[in-house]
């Protein structure tokens, strides 16, 4: 594979894999899914390695800038694409080995690969309209995946999720049209250059507000969160891992591109830090009060997106780095929690925390995976969740914002409380007799816990050996702090 | 012309918002469909379409219509169709599964 076309691989590989996955039977489709996601993971790792030497740019079809469509991988987008591929590979492995009902649906595997294609496209495209199109593919494939769980509530949950996602993408489409009306280009680097060299059009703040609303809706930030817990709790576990781990990060990615390229210094971006604080507190309280294991995890995602937004709002190199560390960590550990927790709730057919209990006697491996994941979510050292909290507080100190820093500390306290509550209620104590009976009713598959344990291993490894990861986050933040690097690479590199 | 366009978009969005605020799932789908068409009209409206020539390769150098906008709106129209078809199917599924199409009857997340 030549280095020249490397950048398109994380998009093309899963798309190519989706075709045999659609044609083959479900079991073979699951194998195709696993092989394709692992190949995509390798390609994404190669893209990240290449992006360390400066942003990589690929002009699709060889059309030169600024008319062609560019794929751009700076450290930031390459790291997100790699995280996406890692979570997708773990989810595909889980689908193959855990014997969850949805794995027997033939449609599931091509849809999952389409979701991965579109996510790679969202993170790697340098064109705003392309971002919109890939986002549509992400949401349409994710509706179908949520619906495939085929639970009694699936129809209404999917309907709610579909209508609200449609509204979000409509807001994005309108704002993209207005961006084009304002500056006459859709290439993000070109937009950045034109906004900087000439006065922005008078309606620019309104466009910024529309686009921010779209990304806040995608990111499930309070008060735009209301669609999220239903969809994330009702989806099949490997899909929940993708939804909660990766898809909400599209909002984060979009806001970073707004902040650094399209709308630098837009007044509406001042709401980021307060909304982040509100989201962290709301998500934490809702997770603490919720009686359902998967909904608790979903609300915790709202809280963690709040932390990411807080860091973005604080800004600066420390804030950007903290946002990135939080985003990657949360993706890995929330995916592992959804896989290990989802496996248990799926096998028992029960998600209510008051009815669960004593699962440690049934599944020691699952207890290890969920327990370490919960401790990481709480932010205890030496797990990688601690790095999230450490960088977040450092960013707050650097920004000199004692009020919101206090909110962040309080919300982290809520995080410890709800993580331990979920773990203690579900896994400690006596096993109820109905659970023992239902557990024995279904034969265990070999290696059922491989996927969550692999992700937990990553979480532990990043916590014990944080050097390269923190270095990457700091370098990516420095790169984002100087948009000129991105702009020059895109506009000059192709000539 | 641009006034007519602006008025059309405005009326479409107003009707769309009114439909989206209804309790009936079918009306919500109709509302989204109208909203999408308003957005597609907006894309057309941001470019000059009158008094210009169609952009053909090798054509004369007279003022040409912006080809990018036409490509954008074509893509957006296709997405509109696909998305609406999915939403209609989903509404049908709601009915087939015995769920109400009155969204205030939805139960998940109440507990």
CATH architecture of B3-106: Orthogonal Bundle (1.10)
User: B40 near A176, Cβ under 8 Å?
Assistant: no
Which residues partner with A159 through β-bridges?
none
Alpha helices in A125-248 (DSSP H): 128-147, 154-183, 188-197, 204-218, 228-234, 237-242
Confidence of residue B40 (pLDDT cuts 50, 70, 90): very high
Strands in A254-310 per DSSP E: none
A377 in any annotated domain: yes
Domain count, chain A: 1
- Asked if A420 has any chain B CB less than 8 Å from its own CB, the reply is no
Three-state DSSP class for residue A426: helix
Q: What is the DSSP letter of A290?
A: -
Task: State the Cα–Cα distance between residues B32 and B24, nearest whole angstrom.
Answer: 13
Exposed e or buried b for every residue in A117-127, given b needs 16+ CB within 10 A?
A: bbbbbbbbbbb
Give the separation between CA A479 and CA B28, rounded to whole angstroms.
43
DSSP state of A432: P
Among B42, B43, B29, CA closest to B91: B29
β-partners of residue A59 are A70
- Provide the shortest C-alpha distance from residue B32 to chain A (in Å): 7
When CB atoms are compared, the residue of A140, A147, A158 closest to B83 is A140
Q: How far is residue A201's CA from residue B86's CA, in Å, rounded to a whole number?
A: 37
**Tokens 């599209």 sit on residue:** A250
- Distance between CA atoms of A28 and B98, rounded to whole angstroms? 34
CA distance B19 to chain A (A): 12
Buried b (16+ CB within 10 A) or exposed e, A335-359: bbbbbbbbbbbbbbebbebeebbeb
Joined together, the tokens standing for residue A204 give: 């620019």
Count of CB pairs separated by less than 8 Å, A with B: 81
CB proximity A173 to B under 8 Å: yes
At B2-19, the pLDDT tens digits run 889 899 999 999 999 999
Contact B39 A129 (CB under 8 A): no
Is B108 in contact with A163 (Cβ distance < 8 A)? no
**Structural domain spans, chain B:** 3-106
Contact A166 B83 (CB under 8 A): yes
**How high is the mean pLDDT in each 10-residue block of chain A (495 residues)?**
76 94 89 94 94 87 77 93 95 87 85 95 93 94 89 86 92 93 88 86 91 94 87 89 93 93 87 94 93 92 95 91 94 93 86 85 88 92 90 92 93 94 89 85 77 91 91 92 88 65
Task: Quote the tokens at residue B65.
Answer: 């219509």
CA distance A230 to A295: 7
Q: Which of chain B's residues have a Cβ under 8 Å away from the Cβ of A156?
A: 94, 99, 106-108
pLDDT in tens, B72-107: 999 999 999 999 999 999 999 888 887 778 887 787
* pLDDT for B111 beyond 50: no
Confirm whether A492 is domain-assigned.
no
Distance CA A155, CA B61 (A): 54
Residue A288 included in any domain:
yes
- Containing domain of residue A71, as a range? 3-486
Cβ contacts (< 8 Å) between A129 and chain B: which residues? 72, 75
Chain centroid to CA A328 = 8
DSSP A236: -
**Do A177 and B106 count as a contact with CB atoms less than 8 A apart?**
no
Angle at B76 between CA B75 and CA B81, to 5 degrees: 100
ipTM field: 0.92
- The residues pairing with A57 across neighbouring beta strands, listed in sequence order, are A72
User: How far is C-alpha A62 from the geometric centre of its chain's CA atoms?
Assistant: 31
Looking at every residue in chain B, the average pLDDT score rounds to 85
């Amino acid at each position: 594979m030549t280095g020249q076309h490397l950048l398109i691989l994380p998009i093309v590989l899963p798309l190519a894999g989706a075709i045999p996955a659609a044609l083959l039977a479900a079991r073979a489709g699951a194998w195709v899914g696993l092989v394709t996601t692992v190949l995509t993971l390798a390609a994404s790792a190669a893209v990240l390695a290449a992006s360390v030497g400066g942003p990589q740019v690929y002009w699709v079809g060889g059309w030169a800038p600024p008319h062609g469509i560019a794929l751009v991988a700076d450290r930031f987008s390459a790291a997100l694409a790699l995280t996406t591929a890692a979570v997708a590979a773990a989810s595909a492995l889980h689908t193959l080995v855990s014997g969850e009902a949805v794995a027997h649906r033939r449609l599931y595997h091509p849809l999952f690969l389409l979701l991965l294609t579109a996510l790679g496209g969202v993170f790697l495209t340098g064109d705003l309209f392309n971002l919109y199109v890939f986002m549509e593919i992400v949401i349409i494939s994710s509706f179908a995946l949520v619906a495939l769980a085929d639970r009694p509530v699936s129809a209404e949950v999917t309907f709610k999720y579909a209508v609200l996602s449609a509204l979000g993408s409509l807001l994005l489409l309108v704002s993209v049209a207005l961006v084009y009306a304002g500056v006459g280009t859709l290439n993000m680097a070109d937009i950045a250059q034109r906004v900087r060299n000439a006065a922005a059009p008078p309606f620019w703040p309104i466009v910024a507000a529309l686009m921010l609303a779209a990304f806040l809706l995608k990111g499930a930030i309070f008060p735009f969160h209301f669609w999220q817990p239903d969809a994330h709790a009702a989806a099949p576990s490997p899909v929940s891992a993708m939804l909660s781990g990766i898809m909400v990060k599209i909002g984060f990615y979009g806001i970073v591109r707004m902040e650094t390229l399209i709308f630098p210094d837009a007044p509406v971006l001042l709401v980021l830090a307060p909304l982040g604080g509100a989201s962290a507190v709301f998500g934490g309280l809702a997770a603490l009060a919720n009686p359902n294991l998967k909904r608790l995890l979903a609300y915790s995602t709202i809280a963690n997106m709040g932390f990411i937004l807080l860091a973005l709002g604080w800004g600066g190199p420390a804030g950007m780095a903290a946002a990135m560390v939080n985003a990657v960590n949360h993706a890995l550990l929330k995916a592992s929690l959804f896989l290990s927790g989802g496996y248990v709730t799926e096998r028992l057919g029960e998600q209510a925390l008051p009815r669960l209990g004593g699962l440690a006697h049934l599944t020691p491996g699952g207890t290890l995976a969920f327990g370490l994941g919960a401790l990481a979510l709480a932010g205890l050292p030496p797990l990688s969740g601690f790095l999230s909290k450490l960088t977040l507080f450092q960013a707050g100190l650097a920004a000199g914002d004692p009020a919101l820093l206090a909110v962040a500390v309080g919300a982290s306290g809520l995080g410890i409380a709800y993580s331990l509550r979920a773990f203690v209620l579900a896994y400690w104590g006596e096993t109820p007799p109905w659970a023992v009976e239902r557990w024995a009713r279904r034969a265990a598959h070999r290696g059922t816990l491989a996927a969550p344990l692999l992700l937990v291993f990553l979480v532990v490894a990043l916590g014990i050996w944080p050097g390269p990861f923190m270095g990457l986050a700091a370098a990516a933040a420095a790169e984002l702090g100087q948009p000129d690097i991105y702009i020059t690479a895109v506009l000059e590199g192709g000539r | 012309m641009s006034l007519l366009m602006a008025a059309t978009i405005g009326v479409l969005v107003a009707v769309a918002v009114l439909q989206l605020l209804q309790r009936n799932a079918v009306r919500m789908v109709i509302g989204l469909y109208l909203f999408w068409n308003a957005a597609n009209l907006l894309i057309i409206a941001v470019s000059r379409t009158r008094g210009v020539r169609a952009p053909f390769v090798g054509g004369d150098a007279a003022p040409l219509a912006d080809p990018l906008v036409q490509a954008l709106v074509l893509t957006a129209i296709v997405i509109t169709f696909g998305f609406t078809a999915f939403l209609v199917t989903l509404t049908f599924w709601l009915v087939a599964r015995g769920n109400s199409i009155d969204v205030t009857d939805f139960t998940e997340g109440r507990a």
